[in-house]
Amino acid sequence: MHDDRNLVEGRLRRVLDERIRPAVYPESVPLDVAVWHAPGEPVPVAEGLAAEPQPIQVGARWGAPWGTSWFRVRGSVPRAWAGRTVEALLDLGFDENMPGFQCEGLVYAPDGTPVKGLNPRNQWVRVGAPVAGGEEVVLHIEAASNPVLLGYRPFRPTRLGDRETAGAEPQYTLTRMDLAVFDETVWHLVADLEVLGELMAELPVDSPRRWDILRAVDRALDAVDLQDVNGTAARARERLAGVLAAPAAPSAHRISAVGHAHIDSAWLWPLRETVRKVARTASNMTALLEDEPEFVFAMSQAQQWAWIKEHRPEVWTRVKKAVADGRFVPAGGMWVESDTNMPGSEAMARQFVHGKRFFLDEFGIENDEAWLPDTFGFAAGLPQIIRAAGSTRLLTQKISWSQTNKFPHHTFWWEGIDGTRIFTHFPPVDTYNCSMKGGEIAHAVRNFRDKGVARHSLAPTGWGDGGGGTTREMVAKAARLRDLEGSARVVWETPRAFFDKAEAEYPEPPVWVGELYLELHRATLTSQARTKQGNRRSEHLLREAELWAATAAVRTGFPYPYEDLDRIWKTVLLHQFHDILPGSSIAWVHREARATYDRVAAELGAIVEAAQRALAGDGGTELVFNSAPHARAGVPAGGAATARAEGATALTEREGGGFVLDNGLLRIGIDARGLVVSAYDIRAGRETVAPDRAANLLQLHPDLPNMWDAWDVDAFYRHTVTDLTDAETVEAGEDGGSVRIVRSFGSSRVTQVLSLPAGERRLVLDTEVDWHETEKFLKLAFPLDVHAERYASETQFGHVHRPTHTNTSWEAARFEACNHRFVHVAEPGWGVAVVNDSTYGHDVTRTVRRDGDPGTTTTVRVSLLRAPRFPDPETDQGVHRFRHALVPGADIADAVREGWRINLPERRLTGAGEVAPLVTVDEDAVVVTAVKLADDGGGDVVVRFHEAHGGRARATLTAGFDLAGAEVTDLLERPLPDVPAPAHEGGRITVRLRPFELMTLRLRRA
């Protein structure tokens, strides 16, 4: 037989596009349209419905950037259409190639009942099936004219990302507002042909199945009268029935389709717009659930559910019913789909506490999975946190975006730093916006790395980013793929059902130990420094507020601010969303974030001050309150006392220019350039700075990644570097114990103060940068005379080790990584820590010196600032302040302690006398991360702590109040089954912890 494959396939494409798809709506009549443009921010639904609109014609421009327009459409169903299905086709000016990234609408009935969302791939509203003819149709559309920021030429700087700079130019053209007859038979023919055509394209050319489909398609197209598609569609479908009925092979891959709409809680739109995106999508999905009995939809992010409840009660009613029916499924158990690299230990725990508690309180549902399809890599401490929250599973897709190395598994155990393992799945479909295309399904089958031992994978199915979720077309395709020869078997299932099957078939999957590093989006550790600083400051202020409020409540009856702390925690957790904290959102988002963090700081500061004042009482004794988990200067952890004096620091001029700082523990040499050329550990008799090198070296790189400007830094940025060694000023500080340095470069200016606190082995570097560069990357370098093949950086509830070498492509790809409060490098017996108060990104490299003094130089570089132009063209412009400290002679214990110290500076008050800690621990390796009252308001004291040094620990925890009993709990403060209550004697409890083990104790007050 002659090979006419290309001829038939070309015929299929043209006939589908030009004749069959247009015949889905064979008849239409225009609707009358009027519009009212809301002046400013979105208005309540009742106000929008009551506004008096003005006539507007199809073809007119509408919608200023970020505006809201209320359209009213009216019309009558022609009586000649009686008995037929009729839909309203409402095209606001959509580009079908951009679902989720442009204008959107929510349709209401005249009484305010939400009907469904409008999106580029979802422009219809059912009017009747069948209609009687003559019905009057009135619909209202709340239309959002969100501008397109990520267009066909992506990553172009734009002022559209903030309403304050976006202007008023209309963004869209009203395209179609019609009533139309919906021909369901033709619609099904489209689905038949699309499924078969897409499957055919994925089968081998020499496959008999491919040719069976080709011949059936050819016969079906012969049956279509191109002048009467509607009259002949049924006949064409009959000719496809045979190939559609052929069952899948017994060995076919199994795909669990989960209805999904990945909605970023903020990104190329502000938080307020996400509130509406979620309402539109939930309206769509509840409507689709009513129409499609097999369909299942899952939605994560408790914050988004809470928004529906608060802002769209009419949608919430429908959502609650669908949840009760078991088909609208809460997923993930987190407050938002947060970044997991940068949130601190307690914040990461509270993501699960607040998320899971919301779903438990509202629906009585507890999620067993963490659902993070789009998060930019996963910290090694996360498995323990997931387990401690009562969950056991993780789903993500993002690691498939890695630039360099292909991850070796799709289903596996992920093991964290303490040995905890989580059953983990990466959907091989490689998208969290699956649309049931044949190419996607075939890719999932080919791509699945665990063939031969497993055959189940998951496909999150639906348009995200405000695209409206799953469509009826996707459901129709999935129905045809349930049992179809040549394809994977597709079935709608909940995440729990998928994981149950996957675990049952694969009880001993492979193990991946350590962080799940994303080899992409590394610059999110640095972009938008003020947002990151706001997060870090808020996390520590929340610790202080809980600690001192709990202490004051127990000691003085101070009213514990349960509701305020709950609300503030949720605000901070929201801003840890994976496009806010990482700095990858529009200017509007970060402008609002800065204002929010300022409000949070003021509120928490007031709580701390009031609680400390209640504890201090009246008196003239100067008290130092120590919020850190370690004693310092004679002040106990979590208590207040008079601090003891620590000696003095001498400042002398250095031969050749510059200064020497000496406090008897360290001797710091600062040259005439303001660079640290010596950091001598007097006790160890050892130099810290590598020979012929200088620390406190600011380095500037060009920084224009190939894509994703705010997200990425590409390895070639290192090819060019400028050392900022010229100083305008190097002078003694006004306090007589510090050195002040001023530098200028480009359009920017840096002022630094280097100080050596008395009695302490740490050089403190306060850096102020007035930053006005574009597409540049600023680093702060510390070349250290340390031979280290690996280094430690803090992560949640412990630290992770990374190599300093690049033996493999996996190691080379980690050229920018995350730390929390410290980075530590060491040889046996001696090490150095670099601690920070607000930075996350860093790199560590090693070189071997060949001339002069041989040996190894290990360079730690802190990432300070970037200046990408998309999506915020003014990223980080302005003044920034950072604090770092260099700690020579530090072991891990020192790194942990100094990291806490720099983030929790002492507070001073005058009062009556010392304040004893509410809880004490006698082992420095056991670090308390939270002291608070129990969330249920019962008055119990909750203490969370972990082993922080990486070894086993035995510690005694002592309650500073009459103790009636204690129990070990999960993160939600529920007793752990099969874990005996710890014994206590005289308020003392002995605990034993494995390396990095996390424990929560609930202490009952007598």
Gap between the Cα atoms of 315 and 298, Å rounded: 16
Query: Residue 640's closest CA among 623, 654, 665?
Result: 623
Three-class secondary structure assignment of 492-528: ECCHHHHHHHHHHHCCCCCEEECCECCCCCHHHHCCC
Three-class secondary structure assignment of 357-400: HHHHHHHCCCCCEEECCCCCCECCCHHHHHHHCCCCEEECCHHH
How many CA atoms are closer than 13 Å to the CA of 572, on its beta-carbon side?
Answer: 34
Amino acid code (one letter) for 366: E
Amino acid code (one letter) for 124: W
User: What stretches of 594-639 adopt beta strand conformation (E)?
Assistant: 621-625
Q: Are 712 and 866 in contact (CB under 8 A)?
A: no
- Crossing angle, helix 271-291 and helix 302-311, to 10 degrees? 90
User: What stretches of 18-169 adopt beta strand conformation (E)?
Assistant: 28-30, 32-37, 54-55, 61-62, 67-76, 85-91, 104-108, 114-118, 124-128, 136-145
Gap between the Cα atoms of 137 and 126, Å rounded: 11
Gap between the Cα atoms of 486 and 828, Å rounded: 60
Map residue 485 onto helix, strand or coil: coil
- Give the rounded distance of the alpha carbon of 475 from its chain centre: 29
Structural tokens at position 2: 């002659």
Respond yes or no: is residue 891 known to be catalytic. no
Do β-strands 511-513 and 411-415 pair in parallel, antiparallel, or remain unpaired?
parallel
Peptide bond into 130 cis (omega under 30): yes
Residue that is written with structure tokens 């009057």 in the block: 136
Angle subtended at Cα 236 by Cα 235 and Cα 241, rounded to the nearest 5 degrees: 95
Query: Residue 896's closest CA among 797, 966, 964, 968?
Result: 797
The neighbour count for residue 177, using CB atoms within 10 Å, is 23
Q: Are 654 and 946 in contact (CB under 8 A)?
A: no
Sign for the pseudo-dihedral over CA of 946, 949, 952, 958 = negative
- Crossing angle, helix 562-574 and helix 529-556, to 10 degrees? 160
Question: What's the burial of 578, exposed, middle or buried (CB within 10 Å: 0-12/13-18/19+)?
Answer: buried
Three-class secondary structure assignment of 295-354: CCEEECCHHHHHHHHHHCHHHHHHHHHHHHCCCEEECCCCCCCECCCCCCHHHHHHHHHH
Q: Which of 95, 225, 368, 374 is catalytic?
A: 374
> Which residues have a Cβ under 8 Å from the Cβ of 557 and sit 6 or more positions away?
none
| Bridge partner list, 854 | none
| Bridge partner list, 107 | 116, 141
> What CA–CA distances, in Å, run from 944 to 248, 543, 910, 978?
52, 11, 30, 19
End-to-end CA distance of the chain: 91
| Bridge partner list, 686 | 681
Query: Residue 522's closest CA among 692, 777, 749?
Result: 777
Angle subtended at Cα 845 by Cα 414 and Cα 521, rounded to the nearest 5 degrees: 50
> Which residues have a Cβ under 8 Å from the Cβ of 31 and sit 6 or more positions away?
73, 74, 75, 88, 137, 177, 178, 179
Active site residues: 374
